[in-house]
Amino acid sequence: MGRRWRLPAGPRPKLVSLRTTFAVSFAAVTAAVTILVGILSYNSAARLVRVDQQSVFTQVVQDVRDEVRQHAMSPDDFSSSRPGHDVVRPARTDVQVLGAQGQIMDHGSPVLPVTARDRDMAVARTAGRVVQHKDVRVQADLFRIATVSLGDGRGAVQVAQEFSDTEDLLRALQRRTLILMAAVVVAAGLFGWWLARRITRRLVVLTSAAEDVARTRQLGIQVPVAGLDEVGRLGRAFDRMLGRLAQSEEDQRRLVQDAGHELRTPLTSLRTNISLLRRIDELPPDSREELVADLSQEARELTDLVNELVDLAAGQSDAEPPQRVDLADLAEDVVGLARRRTGRDVVLSASGDTTTDGRPGMLQRAISNLVENAAKFDRGGKAPIEVVVTGPARPGTVRVEVRDRGPGIAEGDLVRIFDRFYRAADARSQPGSGLGLSIVREVAMAHGGAPFAYRREGGGAVIGFTVGGGIVPGAGRGE
């Protein structure tokens, strides 16, 4: 056989809390939105400012062109010493005047550079010709410069607009935008962390409770979760689930204890009779027949007890699909079977609408248990056993009761006859497990009803149950 190689176990993935995930996600979304809005806002603002500056400069140049075209103007007309010169020297512009040879006659502030193209405009014959220069650096500042010819070789006028201060303003705006975006992202992260703590605080409590249950296997832990939102609903549902699980565990424990107690009696009797089988040859024929009959009866009772325990522990056939059933029809089947088994006169009477939603097998078993209980305790009776099905006492409710003329039920036993394995003192000599009426209660509660029992006038007992309201999930199993 070759060697079997085992791959080394990799590092366990680090768990990330929901709180951290929520806070990071909130901060990431906020950061993305803030950056996007900041970039779009800055670009829009910068474009508007630049377009506005360009529009102002274009309009100034156009005004100068219109002026020199409409009037034959000389360089002296634009001199800074001439009254009214500010008409062509609008705010935030610099004007410099060139002579007929392209020389500077009235310099601007600062002095603007003069190129060959500018000198060509100074000697141009046509008024209003323009040459423009972009991004001209003058004394560390950037300018736009437009040179407008005066015509007839009289010179030219240079109009300049500084836009480096506009770019400085936009850079300052950009820095402030970045600072604001960073502040918003940090604030969003802190707010997201606070909000995540507030939202997940109750989820942390639920997680701790679930981990405590898994670690200690104690189902009685209280879950202190409040609120009307989904987390509050989850907490209350989790608390109810733990309560039902705890009750189910308690029911199972009690069922095992009660079943163990009830099984001891037939098993002890079987063990005693089996030990007598070793000396069956020494027994007289009558004793042999009695021993075999006892063994047969004990085995039958033990089988019935085990079957009832299985039915009870299995939740009364919850897998059976609910459907529309007629309790009168189910009772008729039970009555026919009871007549053949017991030879007794069993009569059925039904009135009203006896249909309901339920599981047929469970309901038939409950009616059968009632009839068998009546036949067992009224074994030598001559009066018929009566099965009465009536409905509805209220909308959707059907009532089933079985009447007998047996010894009846003591007042102190009426409230306990539906308990598991409970048997009245005067009934302990009768065969049975004490589970039949307990199953009736389980079936009734599972169908939204309840069992009942009372003493019958003139002797005997009336035992039955009501159903109605549809299937109740988990009802009848201690939930």
Mean pLDDT by 10 residues, the chain (479 residues): 46 60 78 82 78 80 85 81 54 79 84 87 87 82 86 87 71 82 82 78 75 72 68 75 76 70 70 78 78 76 70 58 89 88 87 89 87 81 88 81 85 75 52 69 88 87 84 49
pLDDT of amino acid 427: 47
C-alpha to C-alpha distance for 173 and 163, rounded to whole angstroms: 15
- The candidate with the shortest Cα–Cα distance to 133, out of 141, 124, 144, is 144
Model pLDDT, residue 308: 65
* Residue 257: how many other CB atoms lie within 10 Å: 11
pLDDT of residue 118: 86
In this prediction, residue 7 carries a pLDDT of 43
| 18: Cα separation from own chain's centroid | 14
Cβ burial of 315 (10 Å; 0-12, 13-18, 19+) is: middle
Supply the pLDDT for residue 452: 92
Find the Cα–Cα–Cα–Cα dihedral 98, 103, 104, 105, rounded to 10°: -70
CA atoms within 13 A on the CB side of 391: 20
pLDDT at residue 400, as a whole number: 93
Tokens for 76? 């002296």
Contacts of 477 (CB under 8 A, 6+ apart): 248, 251, 315, 316, 442, 446
> Nearest-CA neighbor of 142 among 131, 150, 133?
133
Long-range residue pairs from 205-214, CB within 8 A, at least 24 positions apart, any chain: 205/235, 206/231, 206/234, 206/235, 206/238, 209/238, 209/242, 210/238, 213/242
CA 218, 219, 223, 229 dihedral sign is positive
Rounded Cα gap, residues 42 and 231, in angstroms = 42
CA 468 – CA 474 distance, rounded (Å): 15
d(CA 2, CA 310): 50
Residue at token pair 């009037």: 71
